[in-house]
Chain A
Amino acid sequence: METILSTLNGLWASNANLITTAVMAVVVAVSLLQVVPLMVWLERRGSAVMQKRHGPNRLGPLGLFQGIADGIKAVFKEDNPPAHVHKFFYRLAPVVCLIPAYMTFAVIPFASSITIGGHTINFQVADLNVGFLYIFSIASLGVYGIIMAGWSSNNKYSLLGSLRSSAQMISYELSLGLSVIGILMIFSSVKLGDIVRQQGELLVQLGPIAIPKWGFFVQPLGFLIFLVSAYAETNRLPFDLPEGESEIVAGYHLEYGSMHFALFMMAEYINMTVAAALTVTLFFGGWQMLPGLPQLHQLIIEQFQLVALAGDGLRVLFEFGSFAAKTAFFLWLFVWVRWSLPRFRYDQLMDLGWRVMLPLSLVNIFVTGILIYYKVV
């Protein structure tokens, strides 16, 4: 027993970074997978609430197990690709859609760090030097899956859907990238960990209310542009032109069935989760605790005389809870907006992207530059 423990200790000491990163990667991947059925449930129940319907309510409490039933159905469904498709790319497309969606979450920090046995663990899969540029670069690859699906399906509606999608993604990627430049200028770092840490600072004190330096308070316009562009990038309503069912049936995934179709849906929901998490990380303080929680944390430590490690563990738990709560709110916003707003017309979508969002994001950079020059922010 002693020898096993000491070997384990040695292994831990020499490979601590590798082990924590591997564990973190698995945990993040598995939790992202859990978000998908939850989001499907939330979307269906949410739409039902807004339209005064019941929604799925038979399986499990509040219909929560509906996602499991849907998954089982998708796996066991007959899977016959249509005869006219380009087989290789038809099979590849859903995977190409899903993998970038998964990869992007790697740089998002979901809690601060904790020190166990002299080793500091950062709650982030990879703290890359290039920070959120990594997210943009990987996310821009997702469009290939859609293009592949549309083209290989050999169907006019599919091709139209994927053409719309790629045009839309290219247009809104510009304003998405430019809207974050303001954040970059203020926090002078692309590392998401640094950005979140700096958002914990105090911006102004209005009597009893302390306003933190969250991205939203220093970059309100940037936040608005980012949010709208993120909706367009994830192909969500009011920008879901690629799937506009009244015009092009279902767009790029028209010819897909069973689990292949489910993979597209998973990619969409994971993309939404990443978009929500990135919004929170850049503009709403990431894992910085929600108002009131730091005081509660202090109170619990004093009340129960917690040792340092337990106090730190509780802090990480609170931080992760805050991050999850904020992200959940933005995921709910996706559903909320979807069932509140009608779809744009295609020319309106392009107009908004090129004539409103792009100039606005440039103005935002310019104004931010002036404010920084005169030391206002």
Chain B
Amino acid sequence: MTAINPIAFYLFAGVALAFSVMTVLRKNPVSSAFSLVMVFFSFAGIYAILGAHLIATLQVLVYAGAIMVLFVFVVMLLNSDSPSFDFRRTPALFRVAAGLVCAALFVLFVRVFKNSPPVLTPGAFTAEAVDAAGGNTRVISELMFSEYVLPFELTSVLLLAAIVGAVALAKRHSVAKPVSKKGVAHVAATR
């Protein structure tokens, strides 16, 4: 197993943490969204120093590149300058509850990482084995289209169902509405 560069790790991890905090604390929703982009970018950096270049690229392509663009898009369309949530105005009970939940989560993490073995045992896919088999991209795609083809296809069906559901929900009102002759003509003209 190859050791990762500690400087690079702490750099990316620190940036990720800093921008995560920014994402939560910024009042402006657009700043929050851009901070989240930076968090995803730092994650990609961590994947890259672990040698998982394909995952790093897909992280940037899918999360930082596609999903966050939609996030920013929606935030910009709403264009609300007022903060959606101000923690100073929340009731005291809520604050105490939030603090307790955070503390519980922290304790849970500490327990999990204390009991895990200090050195993880590498599986069949060590860096050398992956390189010998033709690199990350080839190994992952071959596995995905042979051994894991059923879960892969099932996931895509799940996503398709989500898309159909979203369209059905969005269209429910407009379909039920009777369309006047003028309206039809207008729709035809804009096509």
A interface residue numbers (CB < 8 A to B): 89, 128-131, 133-134, 136-138, 140-141, 143-144, 147-148, 150-151, 159, 162-163, 166-167, 169-170, 173, 190, 347, 351
Inside 8 A of B34's CB, which chain A residues have their CB? 89, 144, 148
- Cβ of B69: which chain A residues have Cβ within 8 Å of it? 140, 143-144, 147, 166, 169-170
Give the distance to chain B from A257, nearest Cβ to Cβ, in Å: 23
- Give the residues from 135 to 174 in chain B that come closer than 8 angstroms, CB to CB, to chain A: 135-137
Contacts of B76 in A (CB 8 A): 147, 150-151, 159, 162-163
Answer whether residue B66 sits at the interface, using C-beta atoms and an 8 A cutoff: yes
Report yes or no: A130 in contact with B136, Cβ–Cβ below 8 A.
yes
B interface, by DSSP: helix, strand, loop or mixed? helix
B77: chain A residues at CB < 8 Å are: 163
Binds A, one of B57-65, B89-97, B176-184: B57-65
Contact of B190 among A129, A136, A347 (CB under 8 A): A347
Q: Determine how close the nearest CB of chain A comes to the CB of B159; give it in whole angstroms.
A: 14
On chain B, the residues within 8 Å of A166 by CB distance are 69, 72-73
B27 within 8 Å of A (CB atoms): no
Please name all residues of chain B whose beta carbon is closer than 8 Å to the beta carbon of A190 when the two chains form the complex: 137
Contact of B135 among A129, A137, A144, A150 (CB under 8 A): A129
* Given known A-B contacts A129-B136, A130-B54, A140 and B72 have beta carbons under 8 A apart: no
Given contacts A140-B66, A148-B34, A190-B137, contact A347 B61 (CB under 8 A): no
Q: Closest residue of chain A to B28, judged by CB?
A: A86
CB within 8 Å of A: which B115-146 residues:
135-137
A140 partner residues in chain B, CB cutoff 8 A: 60-61, 64-66, 69
Q: How far is the CA of A347 from the CA of B190 in the complex (A)?
A: 8
Which residues of chain A come closer than 8 Å to B57, judged between CB atoms? 130, 133-134, 137
Query: What is the bound-complex CA distance between A173 and B69, given in angstroms?
Result: 12
A136 touches B53 (CB 8 A): no
How far is B31's CA from A147's CA once the two chains are assembled, in angstroms?
12
- Give me the 7 closest cross-chain CB pairs, A-B, nearest first: A140-B65, A137-B61, A137-B60, A129-B135, A130-B57, A133-B57, A137-B57
Task: Name 16 extra pairs, CB < 8 A, besides A147-B76, A163-B77.
Answer: A89-B31, A129-B137, A130-B53, A130-B54, A130-B57, A133-B54, A136-B61, A137-B65, A140-B60, A140-B65, A141-B60, A151-B30, A159-B79, A163-B76, A170-B66, A173-B66
User: Does B112 sit at the interface, judged by CB under 8 A?
Assistant: no
Q: Using Cβ atoms and an 8 Å threshold, which residues of chain A touch B137?
A: 129-131, 133, 190
Central interface residue in A137, A141, A167, A173, by most chain B CB within 10 Å: A137
10 contacts between A and B (CB under 8 A): A128-B53, A129-B135, A129-B137, A133-B54, A137-B58, A140-B64, A141-B64, A141-B65, A144-B37, A144-B69
A13 CB, nearest partner CB in chain B, Å: 23
Residue of A nearest to B59 (CB): A137
Say whether B191 faces chain A, with CB atoms less than 8 Å apart. Answer: yes
The residue in B56, B137, B191 that gathers the most chain A C-beta atoms within 10 A of its C-beta is B137
In the complex, whether B110 has a CB less than 8 A from a CB of chain A is no
Q: How far is the CB of B30 from chain A (nearest CB, A)?
A: 6
